[in-house]
Amino acid sequence: MIPEVTIVLASSSPFRRMLLQNAGLSFESRAADIDERQIEASADHGGPEIVAGVLAKAKAQDVSRHFADALVIGSDQTMSLADRVYHKATNRAEARETLMSLSGRTHRLNSAVAIVLNGNVVWEHISYAELTARNLSEEFVDRYLDRIGDKAFSSVGGYQLEGEGIHLFSAIDGDYFTILGLPMLPLLEELRRLGAIDG
């Protein structure tokens, strides 16, 4: 018999909620109320993977204030190529520039997840995925952006691998969940270790 443990996802992301729902977890969700850009600026000297970890913990700690004795899951993802850290495009020109900058190159997705209990971080983890884009012509990128429309602004790289974004790539090294922004396998292992889910 598993003791009753409240699990809370510190996110309003439908993708992250879907991942937990598909895994059969019972949980609540609440978006964190933090200034991500300000936190990112203060953590930036540590590199994109550190930024992802700091944001994941900050989200979980903020939401933890509202849920005593609950295990609060926070997650965040950064995208980097060499020294550049990317952000979501706010218009078509930015999305186009992002995609062209990835052409023929390998970028990294840094996906962090943390569990917080009563404001204290009890576990944290970072997973990586490396994605190599095909050599993309400007004409193809324009047609791609025409087809996906506003979806180009919903993810940091301007693509969703579960959709037409798969056409952008020639190689992918990393697991699907890391690419979606929530490393499920290490998270589930830790939830089992904590006795929060059936193990």
Residues marked as catalytic: 76
- Can you read off the two tokens belonging to residue 162? 């579960």
Whether the Cβ atoms of residue 149 and residue 155 lie closer than 8 Å to each other: no
Give the Cα separation of 192 and 151 in Å (integer): 35
- Alpha carbons 77 and 127: distance in angstroms, whole number: 10
Q: Where are the beta strands (DSSP E) in 13-70?
A: 28-29
What does the DSSP assignment read for 20-40?
A: HHHTT---EE------HHHHH
